[in-house]
Amino acid sequence: MPGRTTLIALVLFWFAALGWQFAVVVWPVIRTGDPPGTGISLSDETTASAPSRFRIFLNGREIALARIQLTHDPATETFRSSAEFSAQGVKQSGPSPTVLAAGWLPAKSMLEVDRAGQPQAASSLIKIPGGEVATLLARRGNRMVGDKVATLEASPETRLPGQTIDFPLGEGRATLSLLHPAWRWNGLRAGQRWTARLIDPLADSLLASNQAHGGQPVGCEVSRQMENPPDTEGELPCWKITASREDLEITIWSAVQTGKVMRQQVRLGSGPGADLWELVREELLQQ
């Protein structure tokens, strides 16, 4: 008969093993329908001065460089992700994709969220032949409202008839963008599933009208196993997020250790005519 101390130790160990089994195996399965954690961490605030850089590819051809900066406004407790797209340093080769014929660069995109990750505002500005198109969205209750307006260079004070934008926001992590990668994805778990809302004025202004998905819900799921991003040398464990609806599929590789988005792929359309956009963090290409 074991002594009292040994018996207590065995019982405590048994309860600890049951607790670990529940936390690691059972609880993640129960919570697969929850959205990922969206809180902005203090590390984001302290490293906000260091922008991230993504190389943009369309159907395998590099077309732009995106420089993304995160800033914090203590007065409103909001975080603004601002992206500037340019052709600086882009290696031009082969025939230009149709999207370049409009001369959309330089372009800008902005997404503002609160500390919980909920969208507060969004905007974009792209070039068009002879002018530019500006989109501005702001949160009103549980909706995003705004408009998209074109302005001609020959008459900058004349605003052409605009398009009104108004759509509802869902619960949980409401924001997912096609061409503006998130700063990070925190707290991902294997097999996790949730519904996000697509908010990307840049993509909606740049892509054909039948490829615009702004305001639409999209189902998201995290891979069951960690994996390296495509074409990566060395080990870089990532969670792979897949989001799809109709003729749209978004795939995101988020580093397990930091949550940073390392690569994002967006497939628009189906069959041989589908377009593949790839946004690759520059440091990933330098490995």
pLDDT value, residue 66: 95
Instruction: Answer for the pair 46, 67: CB distance below 8 angstroms, yes or no.
Output: no
Contacts of 16 (CB under 8 A, 6+ apart): none
The tokens describing 85, both together, are 């797209």
* Residue 25 domain flag: no
- Tell me what the mean pLDDT of segment 249-266 comes to: 94
* Residue 9 domain flag: no
* Residue 21 domain flag: no
The string of pLDDT tens digits covering residues 172-227 is 556 889 999 988 888 899 999 988 889 999 998 887 766 678 888 889 999 999 99
The string of pLDDT tens digits covering residues 21-63 is 444 444 444 444 565 655 555 555 555 557 899 999 999 999 9
* Residue 22 domain flag: no
* Residue 161 domain flag: yes
* Residue 10 domain flag: no
pLDDT value, residue 117: 78
pLDDT value, residue 24: 42
Beta strands in the chain (DSSP E): 52-58, 61-73, 78-86, 107-114, 119-128, 131-140, 143-152, 155-159, 163-168, 175-176, 193-198, 217-222, 238-245, 248-255, 261-268, 275-281
**Pairwise CA distance, residues 111 & 168, whole Å:** 16
pLDDT value, residue 284: 80
Q: Which of 278, 104, 102, 258 is nearest to 178 (CA)?
A: 278
Contacts of 264 (CB under 8 A, 6+ apart): 54, 181, 250, 251, 252, 253, 278, 279
The string of pLDDT tens digits covering residues 80-130 is 999 999 987 676 555 555 554 447 889 999 999 888 778 999 999 998 888
Count CA within 13 A, CB hemisphere, residue 265. Answer: 15
* Residue 14 domain flag: no
What's the domain range around 249? 33-285
pLDDT above 70: residue 237: yes
* Residue 19 domain flag: no
> How many distinct structural domains can be found in the chain?
1
pLDDT value, residue 45: 54
